[in-house]
Amino acid sequence: MTPITDDELDRLLVAATPARTPIDAKPDAEAIAMLERIMATDPHPHRVRNRAIGWLAGTAAVVAAAVVGFSVLVPTGAAVAGTPQPLDFDGDSSVAQTIGDAQAALAAVPGPAEPTRSVRSATWSFNIDVDTASATITPQLVTLQWEADQSGRITIVDGAAYDPADASANQSAEIRSSGRVSMDLTMAPGEFATPVANAPGATRAELTAALSAFAMPADPTAWDVLLATSSLLEQWTLTNAQEAELLSILGDADGATALGATVDRLGRDVVGLRVVSSDGAASDVVLISADTGRIVGIERTALAADGVLPVGAVTGYRLFDVPEEVGP
């Protein structure tokens, strides 16, 4: 598959006319092919786009093709403010201690008996109305269930939308279900495109192979490991033993720093590790449950101003292991 340029990517996204697509419409073959081409390109975290595309496209091209329908692209040069507030970490720790404590918790508490092809997560969509120059943030609850034949179903329930200027909604446990189903998409066999269709094993070699299938290079930085880990966790709910090994792989790579403790956007006690992209344009924070040791979230922050979002703006997050009571 031939990579496309940024200019062509802009043209393809504009051609999708997102504001005109019915939210319940299923993607046609042309839309799926377009999103597959987009996903095949290297990520550009400093380029600002529809946040629904940016985080849901990692799940599957067919999903992202449908998600195109309910947001508007941010126009080049637009001034956008009020993205979710960064989490405020406190305390002093090291990467080794953070990972060691997490692995101890993973060994002490029960987890999934085996890896499953189902993920319940939360993310958000930053929606811009270019006519009124207004914006809203819509948290979204995503339930993915798929099968070995790469069929499946994904359901997205919108959270309660809020004004980006609302400081109280921008922090703490902001995700509350509105009960509105914005997508209920059934995928036929073969439509859920994944490089890891079979359950990964729990050994370091087996999990390294799974991460490599998600484009982790042979000598990865912590950023490379976390990118591939995020993709894997968007498609699989793993066992505690597998999560412990993923943390070992992350800890052995260069580039992670410990942040201390905080409370995530679902009100859960977590600790954090930060990694920075190779170009210095963005950082990702992996959130690890203080209670279970499981990876329960990944947040991205802009580190370079690009004329749209300021330095320090949270540009996306995805939370895992979302409890049932958060749903509709």
Q: Does residue 228 share a domain with residue 286?
A: yes
Q: Does residue 230 share a domain with residue 307?
A: yes
Q: Does residue 210 share a domain with residue 176?
A: no
Q: How far apart are CA 39 and CA 42, in angstroms?
A: 8
Find tokens 């505690």 and name the residue.
Answer: 240
* 71 found inside a domain: yes
pLDDT one-digit tens code per residue, 152-210? 999 998 877 777 766 555 554 456 667 788 889 999 999 998 999 999 999 999 999 99
Q: Which residues pair with 157 in a beta bridge?
A: 141, 181
pLDDT one-digit tens code per residue, 37-78? 333 333 333 333 333 323 333 443 434 333 332 233 333 333
Domain ranges, residue 292: 95-115+199-317
Write out the two tokens for 320. 């895992």
Q: Comparing C-alpha atoms, which of 296, 264, 289 is closest to residue 84?
A: 264
Q: Does residue 297 share a domain with residue 154?
A: no
Q: Which of 162, 187, 212 is the last residue of a domain?
A: 187
Most confident of 110-114, 127-131, 265-269, 299-303: 110-114
* 326 found inside a domain: no
* 16 found inside a domain: yes
Contact 124, 138 (CB under 8 A): yes
Find tokens 């059934």 and name the residue.
Answer: 186
pLDDT one-digit tens code per residue, 195-227? 999 999 999 999 999 999 999 999 999 999 999
Tell me how many domains the chain contains.
Answer: 2
